[in-house]
Chains A and B, each alone.
Chain A
Amino acid sequence: MIVRIGRRLAGLLATLLASSFVIFAAIYAAPGDPAVFLAGGRDTLTPERLAAVREQYHLDEPLVVQYGRWLWDCLHLDLGRSFQYGDEVADLLAARFPTTLELVAYATVLFVVLGVGAGALAALNRGRWIDSAVVGATTLAASVPSFVGGIALVALFGVQLGWFPVTGSGEGLAGTLHHLTLPAVAMALGALAVVSRVTRQAVVDADGADHVAVARSSGLPEREVVRRHVLRNALGPIVTMCGLVTAGMLAGTVAIETVFGLSGIGSLLVGAINSHDFPVAQAVLLLMVTCYVVVTTLVDLAHPLLDPRLKSARSAA
């Protein structure tokens, strides 16, 4: 068990090192002088700024040293200064990250409840109309890009019906929920198809196991059979898929935050790119990749908790 966790954490570190290096070294792939690129292009260039950038990124030293120093700075939350906003990048991230996390958490709750519910419902009624309805509706929902879905939601519930605010992230719990409902729904809609499909298959597989037939033939109430045997045993693939979708949603906030004018890290990234503010873009990308890799690792580590067979198999190995 410990060996397994250690191996998984080593993999996590390796992935993080590789992706952070790619994100760092990207400045050298950009056309022209990396210092000019980092400083936001030639248009607004001043010698002082150029010097500041060279100093911050240690551009006069060998690449590996630059990367090492940059990584060291990143670990100490010294992410440089935004040329667009004039603030410390770390402060920008700290100010905006909570909104993104709230949005992703809200959307996760929605797609887990609705997606797993719909998938289980389809699986337990397979072959009937409700099954086809779930598959059809979720496939349709997945065919609409989240920004289009978001705008349709704004048009209908925000402008026409006036039930929800159109932009902003709100104050307090009730305000936040009120403001984030439409964006969270828009993000969750796209995830419903894949989550409900995986759930459906997992539940069908679990329902076909011998011990479930045995439990049924021993007179256990159907509700208990479904809850304790079918759904419980289907959890593995469902948890994995929900984890992957949640991790991927961090990248998805890029579009949704723009639609709803939320100031999270997704809209920060879009703004940074459109204004050539590469240090900010770099920091946001690094943060998103880190979250993605950490979440997927956590999901993987959670697996043995769901299936005791894995626990002993892995610890024996």
Chain B
Amino acid sequence: MSAVPADAPAPARTVRRARRPVAALVAIGFLALVVLAAVLAPLLAPYAPDTVDLSSSLVGTGGEHLLGTDASGQDLLSRVLYGARTSLVAPVLLLALAGVIGVSLGTLAAWRGGWVDAFVSRLTDVMYAFPGLLFVVLIIAVFGTGMTTSVLGLGLAFAPTIAKYTRSVALAERAKPYVDAYRVQGMGGARICVRHLVPNLARSIAGYLVVLFGEALMSLATLSYLGFGTQPPSSDWGLMVQEGQSAIVQGALLPALVPGTAIAAVVVAFNVAGVHLADRLGTRR
């Protein structure tokens, strides 16, 4: 009797759904450090972020400046630490705005159904038929540049996708028996939504927002880089990249690459941690 494997020995053809938690934990740890550094920037930064010292322009790493300086002699480490504040807080504000609008519209559409649902769905479809960046650029063209306009514009641009997600999960939640139970007890629709429906969806929506964070940060950084977002003398990472770019042709790469790396590292960490968190929070994808 011969014993042969029935076919070429191949490993089980399945892909792990979630990343290994190790990677997610490292990412979360890194993000915690970044947040801590941003909060403690005044204590950690070796220089004031706006100390101009033209005599030490474009100094390399090491020595008195750990990450070197930019063209006007400002310490890059200090600037990145302070820039983290704007770069991390602005996406939170953006997502909060988009979340409030999106969750309200999505819940309303799911709860009321009928023409309200049709209207909201059509509205989100129209927004989808339009690249979000162009919408934001139009808003900035009309209302002028600045961080407030950028956050408001991107908040509006992000709202439809959140509305769409909320609507889909809220529709499923509304079908659950407890909702009918509250209705039978005579509780009003608005009260059920605010007190029970939305809180029950909060975990899942929070997971969705975490996944969007990286994109929000990238979009804001892009706007700042283009000069539409943060305006000097304030600064964030996107604007730092723009300011540092001219030094590249002089061979000084750090002024652009230090803030650029900061953006990329935080977005990567958020995406790695976000996927894991979204899975844990039961976010549908």
Whether B100 is near chain A, meaning CB under 8 Å from some CB there, is no
Whether B218 is near chain A, meaning CB under 8 Å from some CB there, is yes
- Comparing A65-73, A148-156, A223-231, the segment that makes contact with chain B is A148-156
* Complex Cα spacing A281 to B264, Å: 30
* Complex Cα spacing A249 to B14, Å: 33
Whether B221 is near chain A, meaning CB under 8 Å from some CB there, is yes
* Complex contacts, B11 vs chain A, CB 8 Å: 127-128
* Complex contacts, B129 vs chain A, CB 8 Å: 15, 19, 293, 296
Q: Are A159 and B131 in contact (CB under 8 A)?
A: no
Whether B181 is near chain A, meaning CB under 8 Å from some CB there, is no
* Complex contacts, A282 vs chain B, CB 8 Å: 141
Q: Are A26 and B141 in contact (CB under 8 A)?
A: yes
Residue of A nearest to B223 (CB): A255
Please report which residues of chain A, range 274-316, place their CB below 8 angstroms from some CB of chain B when the two chains form the complex. 274, 278, 281-282, 285, 288-289, 292-293, 296
Q: How many residues of B contact A (CB 8 A)?
A: 42
Chain B interface main SS type? helix
Whether B126 is near chain A, meaning CB under 8 Å from some CB there, is yes
Whether B222 is near chain A, meaning CB under 8 Å from some CB there, is yes
Cβ contact of A273, chosen from B145, B249, B253, cutoff 8 A: B145
* Complex contacts, A288 vs chain B, CB 8 Å: 131, 134
Whether A100 is near chain B, meaning CB under 8 Å from some CB there, is no
* Complex Cα spacing A285 to B133, Å: 11
Whether A258 is near chain B, meaning CB under 8 Å from some CB there, is yes
Q: Are A270 and B214 in contact (CB under 8 A)?
A: no
* Complex contacts, A30 vs chain B, CB 8 Å: 142-143
Whether B1 is near chain A, meaning CB under 8 Å from some CB there, is no
- Comparing B103-111, B194-202, B224-232, the segment that makes contact with chain A is B224-232
Whether A50 is near chain B, meaning CB under 8 Å from some CB there, is no
* Complex contacts, A247 vs chain B, CB 8 Å: 131
Q: B4 to nearest A CB, angstroms?
A: 18
Whether A126 is near chain B, meaning CB under 8 Å from some CB there, is yes
Please report which residues of chain B, range 212-260, place their CB below 8 angstroms from some CB of chain A when the two chains form the complex. 214, 218, 221-222, 225-228, 241, 245, 248-249, 251, 253, 256-257, 260
Q: Are A274 and B15 in contact (CB under 8 A)?
A: no
Whether A78 is near chain B, meaning CB under 8 Å from some CB there, is no
Cβ contact of B13, chosen from A23, A127, A259, A281, cutoff 8 A: A127
Residue of B nearest to A126 (CB): B13
* Complex contacts, A148 vs chain B, CB 8 Å: 221, 241, 260-261, 263-264
Q: Are B226 and A270 in contact (CB under 8 A)?
A: yes
A159-B253 contact, Cβ under 8 Å, with A145-B267, A147-B241, A151-B260: yes
Whether A5 is near chain B, meaning CB under 8 Å from some CB there, is no
Residue of B nearest to A272 (CB): B141
* Complex Cα spacing A147 to B249, Å: 16
Q: Are B249 and A159 in contact (CB under 8 A)?
A: yes
- Comparing A81-89, A109-117, A136-144, A172-180, the segment that makes contact with chain B is A136-144
* Complex Cα spacing A144 to B241, Å: 13
Residue of A nearest to B270 (CB): A143
* Complex contacts, B227 vs chain A, CB 8 Å: 270, 274
* Complex contacts, A146 vs chain B, CB 8 Å: 222
Whether A166 is near chain B, meaning CB under 8 Å from some CB there, is yes
Q: B149 to nearest A CB, angstroms?
A: 11
* Complex contacts, A215 vs chain B, CB 8 Å: none
Q: Are A254 and B241 in contact (CB under 8 A)?
A: no
Q: A207 to nearest B CB, angstroms?
A: 10
* Complex Cα spacing A259 to B126, Å: 30
Residue of B nearest to A280 (CB): B141
Whether B115 is near chain A, meaning CB under 8 Å from some CB there, is no
* Complex contacts, B221 vs chain A, CB 8 Å: 145, 147-148
On B, residues with C-beta under 8 Å from A are 10-15, 126, 129-131, 133-134, 137-138, 140-143, 145, 214, 218, 221-222, 225-228, 241, 245, 248-249, 251, 253, 256-257, 260-261, 263-264, 267-268, 271
